[in-house]
Amino acid sequence: MGVLLEVKALSLHFGGITALQEVGLAIAEGETLAVIGPNGSGKTSLFNCITGIYRPTSGSITFRGDSLLGRSPDAITHLGVARTFQNLRKVGR
């Protein structure tokens, strides 16, 4: 199986803050991967870069061999890359 999603040497800076530094991962077709870590470790920043909400400072993101960098979030969603948000609201109140 080929690589479905690949992130190479991804870095993201907000002024003097480094949110991501040289992050890399590769997900093969049919594979499941979890990104875990404590609050503030960059999980949301990583997903925001992959989905086009943030533009990384450096590195690359490819989906099925095509770059996602510079594409709008809706264009990335149309390719089949999307995320869901955690709902903190309690149901039934």
Report the number of distinct structural domains present in the chain: 1
Residue 83's pLDDT is 85
What are the DSSP calls for 5-36, one per residue? EEEEEEEEEETTEEEEEEEEEEEETT------
* Residue 85, in any domain of the structure: no
Q: Six-digit token pair at 85? A: 């948000």
pLDDT tens, residue by residue, 5-60: 999 999 999 999 999 999 999 999 999 999 999 999 999 999 999 999 999 999 99
Residue type, 54: Y
Q: Domain with 36 in it: what CATH number?
A: 3.40.50.300
pLDDT tens, residue by residue, 55-69: 999 999 999 999 999
* Residue 90, in any domain of the structure: no
* Residue 89, in any domain of the structure: no
- The domain containing residue 46 runs over which residues? 3-79
* Residue 86, in any domain of the structure: no
Is residue 92 over pLDDT 70?
A: no
* Residue 45, in any domain of the structure: yes
Is residue 86 over pLDDT 80?
A: no
